[in-house]
Amino acid sequence: MSSSPQPSCPRCQRTLELSDIRFPLFQCPHCATKLQLSLRRLPLALAVTVVVSLLLSHMIGLKAYAAILWIPIFWLCLKFVPGLLVSAELKVYADVPPKVRGVIKRNLLLFLSFWFGLTLVGIVHAYVLGWGAFLLASKGDVWEITELWSLPLGLVNPAFRLSPEKSFVADLGILVANCYFNALALTLIFKFVHRMLQRNRVTQLSIGGNRVGDDDDDDL
């Protein structure tokens, strides 16, 4: 991997030291221009790193019970995948009002948050408690953990059931697929409850306003 070019200020074009760069805002030590890091390509680079690490895990036949070994594999990919962290760009900071997200973007962000959160909880729960149940020779607890995170697709097709004997990549794919549908259900439930609370709040404010008007009439 080739070394990254030395960063420079977009305003004065003078070279910056890495110690001068701060996240997310900092000032150029030469011209005092306020600069910020633009990490537009960072999410794509992280996604590529995850894919590469999973491919390596699949090639070496990493089993689900040894999933902890995926962490050093991912860290090595994070260090050596070209253009991951060096793709950050510098731009002059423009103090503009933040953009208001639309309804679709807010709902998508909510769904992705549920999806990522459930997947992370599922990995930690299945691995930590699964190993604990295995060491305690509690096969029933292992079965309950695998059945819990095999829903809902495991009810439709037995191939979507988690198993410690499957590869780490296969179990992770099953977990992500199940968490997708669970996150979708949680998003719909959250939006429904939020809509009902908003409707009740509006009704309560309307009643309160009428009472204020009645009190004013009585005073007159």
Per-residue pLDDT, 139: 64
The answer as to whether 71 is a domain residue is no
The answer as to whether 52 is a domain residue is no
Residue 125 has pLDDT above 80, yes or no: yes
pLDDT in tens, 10-29: 888 888 877 777 766 788 88
The answer as to whether 114 is a domain residue is yes
Residues 6+ apart with CB under 8 A from 88: 37, 38, 39, 42
The answer as to whether 109 is a domain residue is yes
How far is it, in rounded angstroms, from Cα 83 to Cα 146? 38
The answer as to whether 134 is a domain residue is yes
**Tokens 């990522």 — which residue?**
116
Q: Are strands 89-92 and 34-38 parallel, antiparallel or unpaired?
A: antiparallel
SS3 label, residue 178: helix
Per-residue pLDDT, 27: 85
Domain encompassing residue 141: 97-198
pTM: 0.67
The answer as to whether 205 is a domain residue is no
How far is it, in rounded angstroms, from Cα 32 to Cα 118? 44
Which of 50-54, 167-171, 184-188 ranks highest by mean pLDDT?
A: 184-188
Per-residue pLDDT, 177: 93
The mean pLDDT of 56-63, rounded to a whole number, is 90
CB 108 within 8 A of CB 124: no
Per-residue pLDDT, 137: 55
Percent of the chain with pLDDT strictly greater than 70: 71
Which of 1-10, 72-81, 174-183, 202-211 ranks highest by mean pLDDT?
A: 174-183
Residue 169 has pLDDT above 70, yes or no: yes
The answer as to whether 217 is a domain residue is no
Per-residue pLDDT, 43: 76
The mean pLDDT of 93-100, rounded to a whole number, is 64
How far is it, in rounded angstroms, from Cα 29 to Cα 168? 48
Residue 64 has pLDDT above 50, yes or no: yes
Residue 120 has pLDDT above 60, yes or no: yes
pLDDT in tens, 71-90: 899 888 887 765 555 555 67
Element (H, E) at 92: strand 89-92
Q: Work out the pLDDT band at 94, boundaries 50, 70, 90.
A: low
Partnered with residue 26 across adjacent β-strands are 35
The answer as to whether 211 is a domain residue is no
The closest alpha carbon to 7, from 91, 110, 105, belongs to 91
Number of domain units in the chain: 1
The mean pLDDT of 129-134, rounded to a whole number, is 66
pLDDT in tens, 28-42: 888 988 887 776 777
